[in-house]
Amino acid sequence: MIWNKLFRRPQNDDAAFRLYRAVSDQARRAEFYRHAGVPDTVESRFEMVALHAFLAMHRLKQGGDEAKALGQRFFDVFFDDLDQTMREMGVGDLSVGKKVKKLASSFYGRISAYEAGLAGGSETLQEAIRRNIYGDAAVDRAQLTLIAAYVGRAASALRAQPEKALIAGEIRFPEPPVAEDLAATRAAQGIGSPEAHDISA
């Protein structure tokens, strides 16, 4: 499957590779697609990796020089792997560089949007998530709320993790939303009300 080639688990023991492996593993968790309604497409799976990559880099940026340097190394690992994967999938050598450069540019845009979302409150964060992860797909308001709440919890959890552990490549994300979380969110929002279900893109 394309997804198995895209964002493989690197085998290098370097801290940046370990972080990247943890990020890609977390982004693949089935709960995001089953309970939070993330579209099961290559594009949305890339967006989930990008979201978790942002969370890791956001935390590293809050640390000292060594943490910041690791954040840059992590970014390089992320896009080096994407470059190699595209070549293995048969994308022409002349176009790979342009495609990766375009993805890198769009990733910086996502970083800005998610940082603004974390600073601006739940509605700002939900809009950034809706636009990037769900795209043109219909979005269930409760599921969007779940993802935004997860991102907030993840940012807080990573902020509390010791910098020494992060520099060693150890990162722990919170558990993704489960069915009980979705049911509780829908109940809190009011089952049967139009705004509790699909919202337009």
pLDDT tens per residue, range 23-40: 999 999 999 999 999 999
How many other β-carbons are positioned within 10 Å of the β-carbon of residue 70?
Answer: 23
The pLDDT score that the predictor gives to residue 68 is 95
In sequence order, which ranges of the chain are alpha helices (DSSP H)?
2-5, 15-27, 30-34, 42-61, 65-88, 93-120, 122-129, 141-160, 163-167, 179-189
Q: Which of 151, 150, 141 is nearest to 185 (CA)?
A: 141
pTM of structure: 0.84
Calpha distance 2→201 (Å, rounded): 27
Calpha distance 180→186 (Å, rounded): 10
Q: What are the Cα distances from residue 44, in Å, to 26, 40, 67, 169, 191?
A: 14, 7, 28, 25, 27
The pLDDT score that the predictor gives to residue 142 is 94
**How far from the centroid of its chain's Cα atoms is residue 14's Cα?**
21
The pLDDT score that the predictor gives to residue 200 is 45
The pLDDT score that the predictor gives to residue 117 is 93
- What 188-193 contacts at long range (C-beta under 8 Å, 24+ apart), as own/partner pairs, is 189/141, 189/142, 189/145
State which residues of the chain have pLDDT below 70: 1-13, 83-100, 191-201
